[in-house]
Chain A
Amino acid sequence: MAAIDVCGLTKVFEVRETAPGLAGSLRSVISPTVREIEAVRTISFSVDEGEMLAFIGPNGAGKSTTIKMLTGILHPTGGRASVLGITPWENRQRLSSEIGCVFGQRSQLWYHLPPRDTFELLANVYEIPKSVYRDRLEMLAGRFELADFMSTPVRKLSLGQRMRCEIAASLLHGPKVLFLDEPTIGLDVVAKRAIRGLIRQMNREEGVTVFLTSHDVGDMEELCRRVMIINHGELILDTSVSALRRDYLRFKIVRVRLADAIDGFEMDGVAVIKHKRANLKLSVDTDLTSIDEVLAGLMRRARIVDITIADPPTEQVIADIYGRDASEALAGR
């Protein structure tokens, strides 16, 4: 059964534009110029119960607007959506008891109070019976390792600790669907891994449907089987993560600093993007050459001082998808 069902969802924002200079500002007060921006354009999809879906795209692609329509915060300009059989913007309060939300760049915790106070407030707001709340909090505090800072004011928590609290807070009432809007934004590698592990665990143990937006490809790769990519408000890809990895994420970006300068570096499937004495930036096609082989090749030339391996940025993946669409269209002519 579909936990989320979306058909032709559209959101158009009206943006007032101001001409430059004082005269322009005054003119825009008297006769404002309004421009329409289509943040989301007739998107349709459905998400099964218990599924973990990644909804990725660059900044301004329409991810957050979609999530805010699905949680009932924004009213769409057109189309329909149903979350657990409820139209979000018509029954926002009813839906809110069934879903949990985490907005990575905002906070629902009371800034000057310890997380425990927010949890207690939420237990009252969601009308969770006291004994159920105690058990649930104990379980979440144990799983999210919150005990050490449960009584520390939120303002004194690290971003990683705060995000663990945010997610625990959104799970307190046992939601069936969890909307995560950039839950790992700004976190370091260790904290990201911890958050991803916790989300995976909650999905496995409680069957929570997870709708995750992110512009971090790693969130998608580590958590989800299915991915949808949105750009300029349009769904441009709805596929499995493995297919995306096979088709678009096989390239890795390797940045390496060697102990000694080398003249150049050549290997099958490796393109040198930048090279300055001992510093290299390589693009590696992992279908042709594994990262191990590249590292071994580099180490034969010089000792490695520092190395980072990254996925191509979402913008690059999207450019590749468009490039492929264009070339497939041309080939089909």
Chain B
Amino acid sequence: MTVMTAMAKYFHVARVSMRARTAYLADFLLGSVFYALILYVFVQLWSVIGGTSGFVVEGFGPRELVWYLMASEAIMLGRARFEHETDEEVKTGAIAYSLNKPYHYVMFKLASYWGETALKMALYILIGSAVALAAVGPIRVSATHLAGVLACTVLALTLNFLIGMALSLSAFWVEDTAPFFWIYSKVLFVLGGLFAPMEVYPDALARVARATPFNYVLYAPARLFVQFDADFLLRTVAMQVMWAAVLALLVMALYGMGVKRLNVNGG
């Protein structure tokens, strides 16, 4: 099997996943309203803080904070929610169909994740940019910066997938993985820097956050989008690649072990 045919296979999986996602148009639009609402609330909050105390920390004033939130929330809400798939597949026995096809299960999930994520992200970025632009005006970005931010975002979303997949694969041992994902989303809130960049965090907490991969899922791409810095981009990409490699090894090890001890319900 050549690399090209393998890639074509997974590309098609991504395409079908994207098409399937459009079936949930109502969910999709509702999610967009929720996203716009969060942005609106924070626009009000940062405007009040900025107006009363002239709030600016390391270059982050109310305008930058709104654009930061636009980017971090777009990633948070735009990432495909595949967390319940594996445990549902194990619980219902549908994994029998997922495993007996000539593709790698994890790669199939990754392709499917990207199909859905690409579509949702595009929509959230459009809506978010419109809200932020109307509320606080533009920030300065260039095409080169955006290319760097895009690369960093792709790696961030891949990291999110690998963390999610590692948690999902625990379904081979425990049947309900929902609590793990609940904890993960809360950890992303805090250590990921969902609502504010590390620059406004207390030093100790920022240091802890920077030592985790969660920081590279939300904070790093959102911060780059608002305050582009070539050194920061290089350091971030290096760390993202390092974490992705570690997590990919973990996912493959969990998958290898899990498949051997799989108990499919209903026989």
Contacts and interface: CB of A to CB of B under 8 A. Distances in A.
Interface residues of B, number: 31
Contact of A117 (B19, B94, B97): B19
Most chain B Cβ neighbours within 10 Å, of A14, A94, A110, A153: A110
Most chain A Cβ neighbours within 10 Å, of B5, B20, B259, B267: B267
B235 interface: no
Interface of A: 13-14, 39, 60, 62-65, 67-68, 71-75, 92-97, 99, 101, 103, 105-108, 110-113, 117-118, 120-122, 124-127, 153, 181
Interface in B115-174: none
A72 B12 contact: no
A110 B267 contact: no
A14 B261 CA distance: 10
B23 A153 contact: yes
15 contacts: A14-B263, A74-B262, A74-B264, A93-B101, A94-B102, A96-B100, A101-B97, A106-B93, A107-B97, A112-B20, A113-B23, A124-B8, A124-B9, A125-B12, A125-B13
Contacts of A111: 20
Interface string B171-199: 00000000000000000000000000000
Contacts of A181: 267
A118 B19 CA distance: 11
Interface in B35-90: none
A contact patch SS: mixed
Most chain B Cβ neighbours within 10 Å, of A74, A105, A107, A120: A74
Contacts of B19: 113, 117
B202 interface: no
A112 to B, nearest CB: 3
Nearest to A117: B16
B264 A124 contact: no
A44 B5 CA distance: 39
B102 A97 contact: yes
Contacts of A103: 93, 96-97
B contact patch SS: helix
B94 A110 contact: no
Interface of B: 1, 5, 8-9, 12-13, 16, 19-20, 23-24, 92-97, 99-104, 259-264, 266-267
Given A73-B96, A75-B262, 11 more contacts: A64-B93, A67-B267, A72-B99, A72-B100, A73-B95, A101-B100, A106-B92, A106-B94, A118-B16, A122-B101, A124-B13
A22 to B, nearest CB: 18
B101 A125 contact: yes
A122 B101 CA distance: 9
Nearest to B259: A75
Contacts of A72: 99-100
Q: Across chains A and B, which 8 residue pairs bring their CB atoms closest together, nearest first?
A: A64-B267, A112-B23, A124-B12, A108-B97, A106-B94, A65-B267, A121-B16, A96-B102
A39 B93 CA distance: 16
A105 B96 CA distance: 11
A94 B100 CA distance: 9
A126 B104 CA distance: 12
A95 B100 CA distance: 8
B262 A73 contact: yes
B16 to A, nearest CB: 5
Contacts of B97: 101, 103, 106-108
Contact of A107 (B94, B260, B262): B94
A111 B96 CA distance: 16
Given A62-B267, A121-B12, A127-B1, A113 B20 contact: yes
B114 to A, nearest CB: 15
A287 B265 CA distance: 41
A39 B267 contact: yes
